[in-house]
Structure 1
Amino acid sequence: MLLTSALSACLWLATAARAAIATDEDGQVKAIGLRTHTLQQPYLDSDMQSRWFDFGGDTVIRTDQYIRLVSDRPSQTGWIWSRVPLTATNWEIEVEFKIHGKNQLFGDGFAMWLTKDRAKTGPVFGSADNFEGLGIFFDTYKNNRPGVVFPFVMAMVGDGKTSYDKDTDGKNTEFAGCSARGIRNPSVPTKARLTYFQDKSLKLELQYKAEGEWTLCFETEQPPAIPQVAYLGFSAETGELSDNHDIISVTAKNLYMASQPSRPTTPGSGRSKKAASTKKSGGSWTWFFTKIFLGAFAIGGAYVGWTAYRAQQNRRSHRF
């Protein structure tokens, strides 16, 4: 029983090791969580402050449910901003949000920011205009954008000098975007996932159709130049029309490419040293037993020959 248990344990450990190796070899991109840019319930410390984020304006924090940037009331502005910049070269930010209200007419929307400056109130979804960096706008009210279905999600790359034109819903400064009608009053948790690889790609995915189902909003192989020192922020505003704009959670990760395992380049060279060693060891044992068998056979043959010789000598001695 003890031997069986030991063998079972060894087999289990071997299986687990193989599974870990397979996971490492299959995964191309690895991720490390960024605590400095992550927001989870209860959001605040014991002294009712956040260690990593500042908040202001009309923002209300309910520690067991949400961070409400603005409530369903006219003329509100609210924001939250990271206290430290996001300096990772490659990163992924996933935010769960909720835009909801009871009115048939509603507005205006909220924004996600990765900009050089932080915590400045202004007319662009509650934050400052002429920003430098990246803004992702979740626009729920259509001003003048023919042929586009709202709500509309749009990315804008700011150079610090160009203004966002609210009257045309940012048409002339749009970097990329998509319609996302289901992000307001959703039946499933609504999420946005922004993935950035420096000089390689920028991708935005949305979850609003079904839980666990991600819809590609846009992806580009020529990403914009985001400032090396950029702060993460969220802001929202309401005008004459309003909605509740809630941030439920924010998860940030630093991404890096996993090292590739070496591959054999010639036929037959893929056998590992361990396999070769095992084969060599097996061959050694086989040769060892072969030598014992041959030795025994030779001794037995010599004994039989010697016995026959003695018998012949005895017959000769009796004959004379």
Structure 2
Amino acid sequence: MLLSWQASIPWLLAACIGVQAVTAPEGVRQIPLRSHSLSAEPPQPYLDSDMQSRYFEFGEDTIVRADQYIRLTSDMQGQSGWLFSRMPITATNWMIEIEFKIHGRGHLHGDGMAIWVTEERGKPGKVFGHTDNFNGLGIFLDTYKNSRPGVTFPYVMAMLGNSSVSYDKDHDGKDNELAGCSARGIRTGGTIPTKIRLTYYAESSLRVDLQYKGPDEWTECFETEAIKLPQTAYLGFSAETGELSDNHDIINVAAHNLHVRQNQGSSRSSKDQGGKARTKPYNPGGTKERGSWRWFFLKIVLFGIVVVGGYVGYTMYRTSKRSSRF
């Protein structure tokens, strides 16, 4: 009986403080990030007694139903809304699990929603209701296909921005894609909780998993190699509708700091080397930008060599002609 009572302590504590149980990777200790978590229940409610949120702020067409959801857009044309943390994420490694719901009337719907880990926050724009040319990570849950032949929608896609790269909306971000997957079941009005889980290790990988086929049935969407995020990055959500519309609801957000044991880092690296092939990391404006400058200077040097060589050759030619006259 004593062993049973002791084993139940973690579950009793989780129930008392309202922390959603999230399975951490093996050998990793998870610490709740209350400043980046949300729930309809205390201690991280959508709204406090003053009808404000201590850790998050929202704007545009966002509606908060304190006991049910945060609705970024309603099933109406031409709406956009956003929800952003007031504080940046300070954890080096983290896991964020979001329960959401995309649903509406009719067979045609759009446009979709986004999850952000960016320097910018609370800035309305054309990328799923938030600003373009962002610096950081955007995860797009795109429910309307503009022009992406051979891809099944809804589509979940990651983009890494550096403040100068613009999202190609006309082609559903085809040239911006870091990694992605088709997820036909994420738009649903059914009873199965729809969730997305982001697991980020600063020196290792970003992994995105989805739950939409059944309760506690997770499907890997993609896993990338190491990517670098801004030192100051805020967690956010946004959505938009156009001529087509949907309800885009945030139900629950459970964020955790992942504390990795020292010997666990080497085991992760060895496991990754022997595992499946990773998606090639996308570094917009990084190595490519430096390479372009090097190529620019190289062209100048080559041009100078050609000009000097031509001048020397022409001088020698004139000298030889003068000599031949005498």
* TM-score using structure 1 length: 0.73
Ranges in structure 2 where 5+ consecutive residues have no aligned partner: 8-24, 265-326
Q: In structure 2, how many angstroms separate the alpha carbons of the residues matched to 1:230 and 1:123?
A: 20
Contact conserved, 1:68 with 1:244, CA < 8 A, in 2?
Answer: yes
Match of 1:39 in 2: 38
* Cα deviation digits, residues 89-132 of structure 1 (max 9, x gap): 00000000000011211100000000011110000000000000
Given residue 73 of structure 1, which amino acid in structure 2 is its aligned partner? M
Q: How does 1:297-316 map to 2 (within 5 A)?
A: none
- 1:196 alignment counterpart: 200
Which residues in structure 2 correspond to 1:167-182 (within 5 Å)?
167-182=170-185
Mapped partners of 2:62, 2:241: distance in 1: 12
Aligned counterparts of 1:169 and 1:238: Cα–Cα separation in 2: 15
Alignment of 1:34-113 (within 5 A): 34-41=33-40, 42-113=45-116
What SS does structure 1 have at the residue aligned with 2:253? Answer: strand
What residue in structure 2 maps to residue 148 of structure 1? Answer: 151
Runs ≥4 in structure 1, deviation > 3 angstroms? 258-261
Provide the C-alpha distance between the structure 2 equivalents of 1:27 and 1:193, rounded to a whole number of angstroms: 16
> What's the % identity of the aligned pairs?
62
1:115 aligned onto 2:126: no
> What is the CA distance between 1:201 and its match in structure 2?
1.1
Aligned-partner SS, 2:126: strand
For residues 162 and 77 of structure 1, the distance between their equivalents in structure 2, rounded to whole angstroms, comes to 22
**Map of 2:28 onto structure 1:** 29
Amino acid at match of 2:161: G
**Partner Cα distance (2:226, 2:234) in 1:** 18
The reply to whether residue 126 of structure 1 matches residue 129 of structure 2 is: yes
Structure 1 CA distance, aligned partners of 2:217 and 2:189? 14
Letter in 1 for 2:28: V
| Whole-angstrom distance in 2 between the partners of 1:209 and 1:165 | 30
Q: Secondary structure at the match of 2:185?
A: helix
Q: What is the CA–CA distance in structure 2 between the aligned matches of 1:29 and 1:228, rounded to whole Å?
A: 22
How far off its partner does 1:198 sit? 0.7
**Contact map agreement 1:141 1:150 (CA 8 A) in 2:** yes
2:248 paired with 1:249:
no
Name the SS for the 2:257 alignment partner.
strand
Letter in structure 2 aligned against 1:99: I
Q: Equivalent residue for 1:225?
A: 228
**What is the rounded CA distance, in whole Å, between the counterparts of 2:134 and 2:174 in structure 1?**
17
Query: CA RMSD for the aligned pairs?
Result: 1.8
Q: What are the superposed Cα offsets for residues 235-272 of structure 1, whole Å, 9 maximum, x if unpaired?
A: 000001000000001010000113669xxxxxxxxxxx
Matched residues, number: 241
1:206 matched to which residue of 2? 210
Partner of 1:278 in structure 2?
Answer: none
The alignment status of 1:240 with 2:265, answered yes or no, reads no
Contact 1:27/1:258, CA 8 A, preserved across alignment: no
Give the secondary-structure state (helix, strand or coil) at the position aligned to 2:58. Answer: strand
CA distance in 2, matches of 1:52, 1:256: 22
Q: Secondary structure at the match of 1:122?
A: coil
8 Å CA contact 1:83, 1:231 repeated in 2: yes
What pairs up with 1:271-282 in 2 under 5 angstroms?
A: none
Letter paired with 1:257: V
Question: Alpha-carbon deviation of 1:190?
Answer: 0.3
Deviation by residue 1:120-146 (Cα, 9 ceiling, x = unmatched): 000000000000000000000000000
Distance in 1 (alpha carbons) for counterparts of 2:152 and 2:187: 13
